[in-house]
Structure 1
């Protein structure tokens, strides 16, 4: 053993290999399971780094590739599973359809599944040459709208509009799946259809609707009415458009209408059958640790939207506790430089106890739900329990075009955890937030150098960054009642500040940094916000300083402020332009523009100071003068618009300056300040604007 200490042992895996081989490069194993056994055996005799090189090809896993404590390495002897240099192996949770396609009718092809294939789970996704196909649906694109629905939970039915509904007769309506948004567009829900009554134009819901948080049940915010767009899929009679498919599970017949030009007999047809592809599975007492996974395409996990979802805390909606890559009870493990597509639910999920893991340099696209989730147990007080993720790093990931099925999702979702770092990610084209912190337990996160744009594309009342703080001291009456209250002991839950710094947020529809519903203990500084601003709703102990807000769809605002909130808003630059004042996706603010106002306060505290400090800011707009709009409580009773002199008489912005901040080249996106900018005289400090987003070692091997 001593003569091979500190060397690097290598094994090899190839689709042309054999598990009876020795695992050397010229005689590789055939499976990663065999390689994992070889690593365990080798570890009994030596203590040195071990690398398993995986050659090109697709590895269809019979079960999730699962790493336990016995598979662990150490800080000095890391265990690494990685792609062979220059090659792109695929770890798949799917199966390849190998039957023969025969013409059926009207451009539809039919494939009789082989006996082994018909035993697979009733798959809900089909991929052809790597591209997800569309389950037969109505309408073929876009949405329908109900004639009538139910505002209150539980939803049991809705009435369709016979003028726009299909004229086809469905033989198996109970197989259909309904995808529907709530009326306020916070997200969508899915149900199995229970029945279709054409005599009353009624659709009855079966199992589903799991995406709603229990606290939202009964709330009209999640109700269904004529605004609740929907579509229905998995209906054989609606298979009438290129790319659509349908599985007759009873007969084991697969139907597909190939897009024009497709050679069906040469096409690679794959279906997901595993919910997890890779799992790191340990416990707090016996963790899996020091294992690295690098350079793979990870694909073909099943959809989860009709599986069990749960509300980890009091954020709006729910999550499915799982991902194509799942980590639980893991320490010092790494998932890096992988390409994750064709996953039906979340791509990566750090569940409960996790410490010092690293998700780095991956591309995640077209995931069914969220990109990366970091979620603790439902026990919301620390005490002696440690079933939550902490000190993990989510960095240098490219996350885009996710939320294929679930719309209340995020590029990175964080709940019931602390001290995690989310940095240098490029997140865009997501249906809701790029980064969402679901609750105030327990803070300490660092969110920095992310490049975020094109968010909230399919929902409303949100921003590129969103947080909730509906923890023990959040007051529902404060949020929706006529009075204002103190915040309570919020730092018992939000124990450490969340730092949001040096990010670029670009959007043009709603809020940029949305600190919603009691979000507390935040330090927000050195952020460049283009087309968006910031909202402080309820909450406590928030310091907003040294940020640049450009042409926001909404002006910065305090909403439903707590008494004695300790909030500070200082040394920021605010530029507003009335032609960009168009919060089109914000249900509360799209009713009318704010006419170029610098601030819009909605329901500030009634008794004490609105903020601890509001000063030393530079503001500018297209109207040529300062305006602040304040809607006093009780809401609807009184609205005032103040000029700068009146505003300062109220005690706000006494040292602030109205004037051009003097950007170097704003029309071309250069928001650095000229030396003579008035902001410098007020204490504003320049910050880096060339480090947003991905780092130089990001790889695009699989794109």
Structure 2
């Protein structure tokens, strides 16, 4: 009877999961490879068993069946190689029965004998041949001893403090070697991680690390914390492992029955790796209905730069797909893993991640990341540039070592980036034709969905519900992209000249149009949709922006139409001449918010504004003003009623109930997006003043900060400069210092200049992301 139930489930999984590609369906003949719960499994033995079965049954499905509910531990990462699939048969990993709770752990259960120590702390001898970074008691993650203490309500790192590494605190630590510092990037563009290696005589720390961000500026002055410091073990749920003395210390919550508690420590950074190549891919592997947990953090291994994005990555995750075809991860649960969850690396075709519940991950949720050897004329740092003669002028990828035609569908993703902050719910880099459909993503420190550059486009990003984003960082969006491709240059004048003289360069990398449609986005610390530096070749339509508006920074060939932008507006930033950008048939609820715009695109017209005072004068000659007449804005239905002026600007209604996950089980678990209270915003007044004939103002908005590339709101922004001005300033510069005075606002600048009399004083300005002095 048990075998009949098992076979029925297997047939259901195979026919249901693979019905969309019936041509790839494995044979109904199945060979079972059973595993029972308990103990540690030797992956070498399992691999050998699979090899023998494959040799004996080359065309059949091999089913690795976890026969009992419970936790299964592997001694090393289970690696599935091409010879195990043989190009004919398939492999499926699955529980024996629907609903069985089967966990594949990246950790190791350890037996400890606790004894009281002091101040509510217990200790136990634990002799392990390896160190570990995460501790679980009764399957709940505990907190490594840290300062400041863990605070679930704190915005940054669940607690951060300027004095975390101050000399006065360092003096209280006897042996901090092996401790860690986690800190935001100075510009709030992700984070850094450092291992403490020693203490200097002045109680500053000796460190290694800090390579986890690809735009080096150093750590934030306030938002940082330390962990793995013995003296900071001072509250419940905290623990510390003294490796030299093989002793584990832990302060449990009162009432915890430690004698019977299950204790698990993290060990493996990944549980299963599908490892093939473009020439010999792993084919037709399905991982279904399993839970993955307890993998080790990888923040100190996050060092590979992703071209000219702000990112560095660790090329791995709890599950790694590297060199695969037609592999599927479906209906799995991933919780409390230390690094990335699913990483689709290098050559992959038709990989599908669907129906998964991903939460509380140290890194990103799902990553599709190609190899730089597929990129023509790659550069790896924001300020890098190359001469025109050195640029490869062949369009598209150079090799096949990238994900293509892969899908992330119907996944619930939240609380990722718990350790690493330059992360995303779903990340795309050096990839082509990726479908990101019907995912619900929220409670993340940076973007919900991020596209790192234009290579090579063709992505469809649709029907997603993305909110509570950019919670710990800044200058970013719920959807975010960069486009620092071959044509892009860190110095705007050079890029203007290059793009004007050689427009054929623009689409050599972004060869296919990215379609961003029928999504609902919300960001309260940035933009709902943020197309940053150079993002090109996008078609953006039928989206609802709940709060942060829509930004298009320098780039080409973007068409934005039929979107609803609530409590905000359109943010065009520093556009090119002949950008061929289009913004039409949209409903906006505030005036446009341009930054540094000298040229408008091909068509900025036929949009609906809240009132006549919001109508632009330079553009939108046929646009209208008036109440859009939403059907039911309180319930999130932003379709317009019959007779709305939106009909006269050719706005078309689109469904408002089709965002996010579609499976009933995931919909029942998903948090609901916070809907805005609508308000007709008007353009705020500014602090703009006349200074020696130039127009200058304070840095007041996120847009101004982003346009200048500033890490904070300090400085004076140059709006315009007259001819024969005494300083070599230009529009867009930011004055940071005048003489010996730090300039935080226009008042500081006026005071500094009045003290200098009529003679010019030295200025320190910020231009092209760098400080420089002028006289």
TM (norm. structure 1) is: 0.82
2:174 pairs with one of 146, 171, 174: 171
Corresponding position of 1:13: 34
CA distance in 1, matches of 2:122, 2:667: 35
After superposition, give the CA deviation of every residue in 1:636-674 in whole Å (9 maximum; x if it has no partner). xxxxxxxx3xx34x3x11111111111011123221211
Q: Within the alignment, does 1:291 sit opposite 2:266 as a pair?
A: no
Q: Within the alignment, does 1:124 sit opposite 2:125 as a pair?
A: no
1:599 pairs with one of 569, 584, 592: 592
Superposition map of 1:16-27 within 5 A: none
Corresponding position of 1:519: 535
CA distance in 2, matches of 1:549, 1:417: 29
Change (3 A) 1:134 1:18: closer
Corresponding position of 1:660: 627
Q: Within the alignment, does 1:247 sit opposite 2:241 as a pair?
A: yes
Corresponding position of 2:351: 357
How many Å apart are 1:51 and its aligned residue? Answer: 3.0
Q: Within the alignment, does 1:510 sit opposite 2:522 as a pair?
A: no
After superposition, give the CA deviation of every residue in 1:236-265 in whole Å (9 maximum; x if it has no partner). 111111011111111111111111221111
Which stretch shifts more, 376-385 or 128-137? 376-385
CA distance in 2, matches of 1:395, 1:698: 14
CA distance in 2, matches of 1:701, 1:291: 29
How many Å apart are 1:68 and its aligned residue? Answer: 0.8
CA distance in 2, matches of 1:666, 1:567: 30
SS of the equivalent of 1:166 reads helix
2:545 pairs with one of 529, 533, 541: 529
Superposition map of 1:633-644 within 5 A: 644=615
How many Å apart are 1:506 and its aligned residue? Answer: 2.3
Superposition map of 1:319-398 within 5 A: 319-379=313-373, 380-381=375-376, 382=396, 384-398=398-412
Q: Over aligned residues, Cα RMSD in angstroms?
A: 2.6
Corresponding position of 1:591: none
CA distance in 2, matches of 1:17, 1:260: 29
SS of the equivalent of 1:192 reads strand
Change (3 A) 1:32 1:207: closer
How many Å apart are 1:318 and its aligned residue? Answer: 1.0
How many Å apart are 1:203 and its aligned residue? Answer: 2.5
How many Å apart are 1:36 and its aligned residue? Answer: 5.3
How many Å apart are 1:430 and its aligned residue? Answer: 0.3
1:456 pairs with one of 470, 479, 489: 470
How many Å apart are 1:33 and its aligned residue? Answer: 6.2
Counterpart contact for 1:73–1:291, Cα < 8 Å: no
- Matched residues, number: 613
Change (3 A) 1:41 1:664: same
Counterpart contact for 2:269–2:297, Cα < 8 Å: yes
Which structure 2 residue ranges, 5 or more long, are not aligned? 1-25, 151-157, 377-395, 671-775
Which stretch shifts more, 82-91 or 411-420? 82-91
CA distance in 1, matches of 2:108, 2:668: 23
Counterpart contact for 2:293–2:336, Cα < 8 Å: yes
Change (3 A) 1:39 1:468: same
CA distance in 2, matches of 1:236, 1:385: 50
Corresponding position of 1:683: 650
SS of the equivalent of 2:226 reads strand
Which stretch shifts more, 502-511 or 358-367? 502-511
How many Å apart are 1:7 and its aligned residue? Answer: 3.5
After superposition, give the CA deviation of every residue in 1:67-98 in whole Å (9 maximum; x if it has no partner). 111222767x5422112222011111211121
SS of the equivalent of 1:306 reads helix
1:408 pairs with one of 414, 422, 429: 422
CA distance in 2, matches of 1:480, 1:160: 42
Corresponding position of 1:72: 85
Which structure 1 residue ranges, 5 or more long, are not aligned? 20-29, 148-158, 577-597, 628-643
How many Å apart are 1:268 and its aligned residue? Answer: 1.3
Change (3 A) 1:137 1:376: same
SS of the equivalent of 1:491 reads coil
After superposition, give the CA deviation of every residue in 1:321-347 in whole Å (9 maximum; x if it has no partner). 110100100110011111111211101
Corresponding position of 1:632: none
Corresponding position of 1:83: 95
SS of the equivalent of 1:475 reads coil
TM (norm. structure 2) is: 0.75
CA distance in 2, matches of 1:275, 1:170: 29
Change (3 A) 1:685 1:232: same
Superposition map of 1:102-117 within 5 A: 102-114=115-127
SS of the equivalent of 1:679 reads helix
SS of the equivalent of 1:600 reads coil
How many Å apart are 1:557 and its aligned residue? Answer: 1.1
Corresponding position of 2:743: none
Counterpart contact for 2:496–2:576, Cα < 8 Å: no
Higher helix share: 2
Counterpart contact for 1:326–1:348, Cα < 8 Å: yes
Which stretch shifts more, 431-440 or 479-488? 479-488
Counterpart contact for 1:399–1:426, Cα < 8 Å: yes
Q: Within the alignment, does 1:571 sit opposite 2:571 as a pair?
A: no
Which stretch shifts more, 471-480 or 562-571? 471-480
How many Å apart are 1:180 and its aligned residue? Answer: 1.2
